[in-house]
Each structure stands twice: as C-alpha cells, then as structure tokens.
Structure 1
Amino acid sequence: MGKRGATAGRRRTRGRRGSGRGLVLPVLVLVTGSLGAGVALAHFHGPPAEVTAAPAAPPLPVATAESPAPPTTAPAPRPTTARPKPPQPLPEPRATTPPPRPRTTSPAKPPVSTPPPSKADPKKPPAVPQSGPGTFATADASGAPVGEGGELRRYRVQVEEGIALSASDTAAEIQRILAHPRGWAAHGRGRFQLVAGEEADFVIRIATPDTADALCLRQGMDTGGELNCETTDGVVVNLKRWMLGSPTFEGEAAAYRHLIINHEVGHEIGIRQHMGCPRPGRLAPAMMQQIKGLDGCRSNAFPYGEDGSYITGPIVS
C-alpha cells in the first residue's frame, strides 16, 4: 500500500508539471498572439498614415495632371482671341504711321525751297516788254478829291493792254502819290480826283517804250524809248521808267514813280519850264529833268521839302 501511495504522489507531481507545461503553451500562444496583434495593429495604424501621406503626394501629380489639362483648354481660347486681335491693331498703326510721314516730309521740303526764289525775285529787275498792242485798259476806280485848295482837276488812269500791270493797282498808287504831304495838293497847288467813267481833265497813260515814243512823237517830241512826255490830253509814262526807275536816281523804282507823277502833273498845273540844280549838294527840284543828270544835286522826288519849303532852281528850258 505504501508503494502505491508514492506512485500516486509522483503522478500528482507529474500532473502539476504537465499542467505547468500546459499553461506555458497557452501563455506563449497569448504572447505570440498579442505580439502578432500588436504587429498587426502597428501595421494597421501604419498604413493609414502612409495612406494619408500617399494622398498628399498624389495631389502633386494630380495637380500637374490637371494643370496641363487647362493649358490645353486655355491656349485654345487664347489663340482664338489673339488671332483676331493682332490683325486689328496691326493695320491701325500701319495706317496711322504712313500718313504723318509724307505729311511732315512733303510740306516741310517745299516751303524751304520756295522762299529763297521769292526773296530773290524782288532783287531782279522785272522784265519790261519793248512794245504792246497800243490799246489801253482804263482803271475802273474812283476816289474823293485830295488837296487843300486850288482848282479841282479830275484824272483817269490807263495801262496798255498785254503787260503785267494792273490798271486799278496803278491808279491806286498814283492816287497815293498825289495825296503825299510833300506833293502839290498838300500845299494848295491844286486838288486832284481819280475818276473812272466820268469826263477827266487829263489822262495818265502807262505805255511800253515803243507805244510811248509813238504817242509823244505825235506831239513833236522824241523820247528815244527812255523818256516820258506831256501831251495835249495828259501824260505819257514810259513803262521802263515806271518799272525800273532811273539810273541817275538814288532810290528804288517806287520812289522814282513819285518824281514821274510830280514832274508831269507839275506841267499840268501850269509849270511849263524845267529847272536846274540850284547848288551842288542841294536837293534837285521836282521840275528838273533828273534823268539827264543831277549836276551835283541830290536825288529828290518831291516839289516840297520836309520843312514845307518849295524846292526850286534856275530855269533852264
């Protein structure tokens, strides 16, 4: 009985050992399972992080994938809008730039070339025709009497046809000459009135040299293509003298015209004789034939001086 008891104790001992071993296995299984679960959990929690990180990375490619897509749509409208726009601005600048260029260059060049000839023209003596048709155009002009006293004399102005001289302009110039403050009318030696169609007391004619010679020769005077003369119905003025003046007169042709009118009208108001130079250095009288020489006197176109004194000289013819 005693042996049997010992055996039973051993069995119990073994059973405890076996039971301990049986506990170890489950524990190991639990540990292993927990470790596996931890690993699984770690993997489970890890992927979401990677998934969230991965989506963060995809936006970049997605954005790059989307960005090229818009360019394909954006460039399409741009060329369509850019193509119509360029043609519109291109013609506009082309149309605006050409006009100003010709406008600035063409007008600027002609004015520069034209003024010089116009300035040089007055210096050149005008061309005077030697002869004309012998017919005259009457100035269609009239004016009020000029002068402070004396007999009223009406005159008409005629210019030979076919010459570059206006009858009306010539009449206006003669009217100014007779109204000059140093002239006959200003000093009571007569009053003068320009008329057109009315009767005139005398006529002032501007004629070419050949026509003037013919008219003066009828009165028995040889003017030689150079001189003026007084006729029974008025005054004949040589066109050469009117346009060019006199080589002996110190002054322009416009000033010499005063001498022509004052000298010839002087005959009309009753001064029939010519005068000579009173003294060298003095003003030549208006009734002196200054075209034949001054004899030491100074050129003068007026019958009266600036002080109102009458300029006279010795009677020579």
Structure 2
Amino acid sequence: MRVPYAASGEYAVVPGKAPPRPGRGAVVRYLVEVERGLPFDPAEFAADVHRTLNDVRGWARFQRVDRGPVRVRVALSSPRLTIRQCLPLRTGGSLSCWNGTRSVINALRWAKGVPQYGGDLTAYRHYLISHEVGHGLGHHHRSCPGPGRLAPVMTQQSKSLNRCRPNPWPFPDRKPRESGETEDRRP
C-alpha cells in the first residue's frame, strides 16, 4: 500500500463505541482518530486498536468512545502530520510518538512495519499501539534486559532491539483465566 507523505493535516474521530474486555479493574476511556486522506479504512484501524488495547496481555481494560472526556486519543497520521504533532521530538517522518494528549501512530510504520519484526506486521502493529498508549498511561522507555530476552514493550523497538527479541505486549506471559476473567491491572 502506498502511504502519502502528507494528507489533509486534519483528524476525523472514528465514530463508534466498543466495550472494555470483561474483568475487574479500572477502565480507560479512549477514542480513535484518522487523518483525512489516508488510504486506510478508519473502522478497520479502530477495530485493530481496540483488539490490541483489550488483549489480556495489554495494559488495562479500554472502552472506546467517540467523544470526550477521554484519557487517550490514538491517531493514525501521515509522516508530515506526525512530524508536526510530535514536536519537539524529531521523528524524521518515520517514528511514532506520544505528544501529551495523543498516541500519534505514523501511517508509514503502520503500513510497512520494521525489519526487526521479521515481516510480522500484525505483531508490530500491536507493539506500536501498546508502546505509544503506554506513554499515555505514564510508562517510560526501558532498556533491553539482556541478549536473547524479550524486549519490554516500552523499549524503542522501532529503532532497535539491542539484541533483545521483539515483543508487542506489556504482559506477554499473561493468559486468560479458565473462568474467562482477566487479571486486575491498573494503569
């Protein structure tokens, strides 16, 4: 898919709502935005975001809404809008960021991924969402704990794995309980 360097420069909120995963613990309200003019189906992007955020290996339980108040905005952005939204951070048009109000997801990375993920675009997309939303929940960058180990999700895996293995999840070892209830984790 060809991703334009620049689109409209304006976000549109993706209409729709989705409940949090079952379980206990805090619920984080969020909404999804897509820059107008990008070649992605906004509803499909929003569904991918919701699946990632509500996976039991994720940070918390997330409720998608289409109006505020929200704790997090997840915004699919052209490289040019990413550069503008991420200032003063320098993304070079290729990185994503948290800008204090939204997780700015670079559409080029969303479409192409990075070599470190060995062509597993789905896993890389989980990482992008988990990492940038993690910033919105107050988590900071972490280093690789050692060669061959899983990279913490807050490692800057888009830049390098530093001899770690790729990992898209905050809690990669968590599994659903037999009762269907999920872990109680507060962001």
TM-score bin, normalised by smaller chain: 0.7 to 0.9
CA distance in 1, matches of 2:73, 2:97: 12
Q: Is the 8 A contact 1:132 1:162 kept in 2?
A: yes
1:307 to partner: Cα distance? 5.3
Whether 1:256 aligns to 2:124 is: yes
Match of 2:163, SS?
coil
- The one of 3, 28, 47 aligned to 1:172: 47
1:37-94, CA deviations, whole angstroms, 9 ceiling, x for partnerless residues? xxxxxxxxxxxxxxxxxxxxxxxxxxxxxxxxxxxxxxxxxxxxxxxxxxxxxxxxxx
Residue identity in the other structure for 1:282? R
| CA-CA distance at 1:152 after TM superposition | 2.3
Which structure 2 segments of 5+ residues have no match? 176-187
**Corresponding residue number in structure 1 for 2:184:** none
2: CA distance, partners of 1:266 / 1:297: 19
Partners of 1:174 and 1:228 in 2: CA distance: 15
Question: Which runs of structure 2 are paired with 1:39-78 in the superposition (5 Å)?
Answer: none
Q: Aligned pair count?
A: 175
| Distance in 1 between residues matched to 2:43 and 2:82, nearest whole Å | 20
What residue number does 2:64 align with?
194
C-alpha distance in structure 2 between counterparts of 1:184 and 1:221, whole Å: 24
Which residue of structure 1 lines up, in the alignment, with residue 76 of structure 2?
A: 206
The alpha-carbon distance between structure 1 residues 172 and 242, as it changes in their structure 2 partners (threshold 3 A), is same
What is the TM-score of this pair, normalised by structure 1? 0.52
User: Hey, what does 1:85 align to over in structure 2?
Assistant: none
Deviation at 1:213, TM superposition (A): 0.3
Task: Select the residue among 267, 271, 274 that pairs with 2:135.
Answer: 267
* Structure-2 separation of matches of 1:161 and 1:208: 9
Task: Work out the percentage of aligned pairs sharing the same amino acid.
Answer: 39
- How does the TM-score come out when normalised to structure 2? 0.87
What displacement does 1:147 show?
5.8
When you count helix as a share of all residues, which structure comes out higher? 1
Structure 1 equivalent of residue 3 of structure 2 = 128
Distance 1:307 1:171 in 2: 24
How far did 1:275 drift? 0.9
Cα distance, 1:196–1:307 mapped onto 2, change above 3 Å: closer
SS in 2 for 1:129: coil
Letter of the structure 2 residue corresponding to residue 298 of structure 1: R
- Describe the shift of the 1:150–1:265 C-alpha distance in structure 2 as closer, same or farther (beyond 3 A): farther
1:87-166 matched pairs, under 5 angstroms: 126-146=1-21, 148-166=23-41
> Does 1:300 find its partner at 2:167?
yes
Asked if 1 retains the 8 angstrom alpha-carbon contact of 2:7 and 2:38, the reply is: yes
Structure 1: which 5+ residue stretches go unaligned?
1-125, 186-190, 309-317
Aligned partners of 1:286 and 1:300 also within 8 Å? yes
Task: Evaluate the alpha carbon distance shift between residue 146 and residue 288 of structure 1 in structure 2; reply closer, same or farther with a 3 A threshold.
Answer: same
Determine if contact 2:20/2:54 at 8 Å carries over to the other structure.
no
Distance in 2, Cα, partners of 1:171 & 1:307: 24
Residue type matched to 2:118 in 1?
Answer: E
Q: RCO higher in 1 or 2 (8 Å CA, sep ≥ 6)?
A: 2
**RMSD between aligned alpha carbons?**
1.6
Larger radius of gyration: 1
SS in 1 for 2:116: coil
Measured in 2, the distance between the counterparts of 1:147 and 1:296 equals 36
Task: Measure, in 1, the Cα distance between the counterparts of 2:119 and 2:24.
Answer: 30
Query: Contact between 1:250 and 1:299, CA under 8 Å: does it hold in 2?
Result: no
Q: 1:153 to 1:253 in 2, by over 3 A?
A: same
Q: Quote the Cα distance in structure 2 between the aligned partners of 1:153 and 1:133.
A: 29
Give the letter for the 1:179 counterpart. Answer: N
How big is the shift at 1:246? 1.2
